[in-house]
Amino acid sequence: MTYRIAKDKVAGGIMTTFTFVSLVLVVAMAIGLWLKSSDVLAQHSWHDLLTTSEWKPMQNKFGFLAFIAGTFYVTGVAMIIALPISLLMSVLLTEYMRSAVRRFVYPLLDILASLPSVIYGVWGTLIVVPFISDIVGPAVGKSTSGYTLLSGGIVLSIMVLPLLISLFIEIFGNIGIDLRESSLALGATRWQTTKYVVLRKGLPGIIASVVLALSRALGETIAVMMVCGNLHIIPGSLLDACYPIPSLIAHNYGEMLSLPLYESALMFAAFLLFIIVVAFNLGARLYLRTLTQK
């Protein structure tokens, strides 16, 4: 009996230690990025950095507004495309398809989720970019190279689809069969049961899954960088180029070694992305807590 109690205490201590280390790592990352950003913050106010778009490192001008807009725009387009598709596919697989079909689809989702992002970028360059430039652009009467906000959104949506579908399937699969049977016994159709029982019961998990996918989409670099055009402008339409923050860091990190203030500006970009992701996660958790209490 004493051995079992001691083993439980050791296991609890190990788990507590790992949890504490995880929290320390997050705080350490924030502090490190803040310290690295201190030089540019000492010469420029937060207001100037976040509300201006002029980007001329050689002239000590660092405006992040266009990069922030590009990050939110491409992520928003990706989530608008991916969310309904992944939700409908998950409902189809869990509520309507036979188990034999699910056993065939699940490995494919795992393969898509494990592909390196550069493969998605190459695919987007070969397929999506020509489709935008040769078909979508002429169809709306606008000349475009294809390296656009829409291309980045499409590629990014394909990347987050496997993650969303896998999470949704897990959520729907954990909803008790007794709830479905009770709904059907009361005369509800299968779609009504899915809509008013399965989706409503799984709503907190759906929100958490969307936030997780959103966090990954905000930080995606290579694939989006290869297809979004990387022009320092605020996109006015889906067929304009964009320049997300991760692409800014990846493109310019090697050039900043001779300019300390340039390095500090790029570290501030990373710090800004860190703040955005943390803010989204905290906001989602607060909303989920409110939803659960209601």
CATH number (domain holding residue 111): 1.10.3720.10
Q: Quote the pLDDT of residue 255.
A: 65
Percent share of the chain, pLDDT over 70: 97
Whether residue 188 is contained in a domain is answered as yes
Whether residue 45 is contained in a domain is answered as no
Residue 9 neighbours by CB under 8 Å, 6+ apart: none
CA nearest to 211, candidates 119, 116, 122, 288 = 288
Position 84 confidence tier, pLDDT thresholds 50, 70, 90: very high
Mean pLDDT of all residues in 153-157: 93
Three-state secondary-structure class, residue 243: coil
Count of C-beta atoms within a 10 Å radius of residue 95? 14
Whether residue 201 is contained in a domain is answered as yes
Q: Quote the pLDDT of residue 1.
A: 54
Whether residue 262 is contained in a domain is answered as yes
Cα separation of 216 and 219, whole Å?
Answer: 5
Whether residue 283 is contained in a domain is answered as yes
Whether residue 39 is contained in a domain is answered as no
Q: How many CA atoms lie within 13 A of 9 on its CB side?
A: 6
Q: Quote the pLDDT of residue 231.
A: 86
Cα separation of 292 and 203, whole Å?
Answer: 10
Q: How many domains does the chain have?
A: 1
How does pLDDT run across 118-135, given as a tens digit for each residue?
Answer: 899 999 999 999 999 989
Whether residue 178 is contained in a domain is answered as yes
CA nearest to 224, candidates 144, 157, 175, 269 = 157
Q: Quote the pLDDT of residue 213.
A: 87
Range of the domain at 217: 51-293
Whether residue 124 is contained in a domain is answered as yes
Cα separation of 61 and 44, whole Å?
Answer: 9
Q: What is the mean pLDDT of the chain?
A: 86
Report pTM: 0.86
Written as six digits, the tokens of 38 are: 């201190």
Q: Which residue has the higher pLDDT, 119 or 287?
A: 119
CA nearest to 271, candidates 25, 35, 21, 66 = 35
Three-state secondary-structure class, residue 62: strand
DSSP codes joined into one string, 37-56: THHHHHHS-HHHHHH---EE
